[in-house]
Structure 1
Amino acid sequence: MAATLAVPAASASERVRERDDLTRYDTALVPADARARVTAVYDRRGGTEVTLRVRGLLPNRAYGAHVHSNACGATGAAAGPHYQYVVDPVQPSVDPAYANPENEVWLDFTTDARGNAVGRAEVDWQFPANRRANSVVIHSELTQTGPGVAGMAGARVACITVPF
C-alpha cells in the first residue's frame, strides 16, 4: 500500500503524507486489533509536524515512538536507527547532542483508559530528498535523555512504514 499524498486546501505549499498499516512485534503490548496512523505535514517555512495517533493499545501506559531511517520489516531491527537530521558519527547514537527531539522526531505518548493516544512533534527542518526517513517505530518505554542513554526507549513493539 502506498502512502497517500495530498495537498491540503489551506496552503498549496504544504504536503501531507499519511500511513496507517501497523506491523506488530509484541502482541502483549500491541494487541492484534490495535491501530495507528501517522501524518506528516511539511510547511512552507521548512518545518515538519509529525502526528502519531494510536488506538487499542494497553490502557494508561506510556510508550516511546520515533521516526526511523528504514522501512519496517520482519523484526523491529529492520527499521534501522532513529532518523537524525544531523547524523551522529558514533552509532548507536546515545549522545544528547545528536539524540534529542530537535535533531530526531520523538513522538512519545501515554494512552488513555481506552488505549488511545496522540504523539506529536514539530521540527524546524524537512527530510532531505536524498536521505528520507521511512518509518515510525513504537517502543516499549518512554525515551531517555541522559548521556549514554539518550534516545533509548526499550524494545521495538510495532512499526508503521511511512515514506517521508
Structure 2
Amino acid sequence: MRSLVTLAAALVLAATLTVPAAASGSGAFEPYRPGAAAVTYAPDLVPVGARATVVPIAGGRRTVVILLVRGLLPHRHYGAHVHTRPCGPAPADAGPHFQHVADPVVPSVDPAYANPRNEVWLDFGTDARGAAVAVAQVPWRFGGRPAGSLVIHAEHTHTAPGEAGTAGSRLACLTVSF
C-alpha cells in the first residue's frame, strides 16, 4: 500500500512537469551481454528476470526521478543512485554518481557533495513480492554533463563524513537516457 501512495504522490507531482521525449529506461535484469539494458552483477540479490523502470521528469529548475522495481528479493533494503556512464561488463563501468556540482575528489565521500540534493538517491525497501517504488526530487535539471545509468547497491546510502554517498556493492545497473 505504501508503494501505491508513493507512486500516486509522484504522479501528482509529475503532472506539473514534463518528460523529455528520449528520457527513461526499462528492462529485465540479465547477465552482461553487449546491448543489455539491465545487467545484474549479483543474481542472488538482483535475480535474472527482475525488472526496473526509471523515469526522469523535468520542470522549471527541478527534476523528479521515479524508480519502479519488481522481482527483487522480498523485504530487503537497497540503495540506488544515478551514475555517469552506461552499464558495462563490470560494475565499475557505470562510473561515479552523477553530481550536479562535481566533487573534485573521486571517489566522493564528502557530505558537501555526496548528498541527496546534489545527487539522485533512490533508496528503497521491497515488499513481500520484491516490488518497490522510489522517488527523488532535486532542485536542478540534468544538463550537458553525462548521466547514463541507475545503479542498484547492496545497502541504503550512508551520510556520515568519509562514507557519505556510499551504499555497498554495485549489484545491478540499468542504462537510462537522462
Mark yes or no: TM-score above 0.5: yes
CA-atom RMSD in angstroms = 1.2
Give the structure 2 partner of residue 120 of structure 1: 135
Give the structure 2 partner of residue 33 of structure 1: 49
> Which amino acid is 2:175 matched to?
T
Alignment of 1:1-164 (within 5 A): 14-16=18-20, 17-21=23-27, 22-43=38-59, 45-129=60-144, 131-164=145-178
Between Structure 1 and Structure 2, which shows a larger proportion of helix residues? 2
Between the aligned partners of 1:122 and 1:51, the Cα distance in structure 2 is: 9
> Which amino acid is 2:52 matched to?
A
Q: Does the 8 Å contact 1:72/1:79 carry over to 2?
A: yes
Between the aligned partners of 2:24 and 2:100, the Cα distance in structure 1 is: 21
Q: Does the 8 Å contact 2:24/2:177 carry over to 1?
A: no
Between the aligned partners of 1:92 and 1:135, the Cα distance in structure 2 is: 17
Gaps of 5+ in 1: 1-9
> Which amino acid is 1:36 matched to?
A
TM-score by length of 2: 0.82
**Percentage of matched positions with identical amino acids:** 57
Q: Does the 8 Å contact 1:67/1:82 carry over to 2?
A: yes
Give the structure 2 partner of residue 3 of structure 1: none
Q: Cα distance, 1:15 vs. partner?
A: 2.5
Between the aligned partners of 2:47 and 2:176, the Cα distance in structure 1 is: 21
Between the aligned partners of 2:131 and 2:19, the Cα distance in structure 1 is: 26
Q: Cα distance, 1:78 vs. partner?
A: 0.2
Pairs aligned (count): 152
> Which amino acid is 1:42 matched to?
A
